[in-house]
Amino acid sequence: MGSYKHPRIFLPLDLQIVDMVYDAAWAHIVNNDPFRDTTRDGERKEALRAKVIALAQGSVDFDTLLTAVLRNISEPWAILVSPNGKGLAKPRAN
């Protein structure tokens, strides 16, 4: 017998906080990876949105959720291509 996973229902204020966390996390990504392949930004934004929603639990708090999202951004998001085009630069430590 399988279990049914009930869909998450957010209050309007929680949705506003989720949107603000998404915007702040995306700004963090853009500022820390200026040489990223911008043609893939759409994919990255979708993945980030899914991550923010997945990490939003209980009563949504901006600081707690933003910290959780930034801690869970995977390494490939931080890989930088060097400006001279000669290979990859080392990811910056946050």
Judge whether 59 lies within some domain: yes
Judge whether 19 lies within some domain: yes
Whether the per-residue pLDDT at 89 is higher than 60: the answer is no
Q: 5-46, pLDDT tens digit by residue?
A: 667 788 899 999 999 999 999 999 998 888 888 999 999 999
Stated as kind and residue range, the H or E segment containing 88 is strand 88-89
Number of domains the chain contains: 1
Question: Residue 43 belongs to what domain range?
Answer: 12-89
pTM: 0.71
Judge whether 73 lies within some domain: yes
Judge whether 21 lies within some domain: yes
For residues 70 and 30, give the distance between their C-alpha atoms in angstroms, rounded to a whole number: 13
Judge whether 34 lies within some domain: yes
Judge whether 94 lies within some domain: no
Asked if residue 10 lies in contact with residue 56, where contact means CB atoms within 8 angstroms, the answer is yes
Judge whether 16 lies within some domain: yes
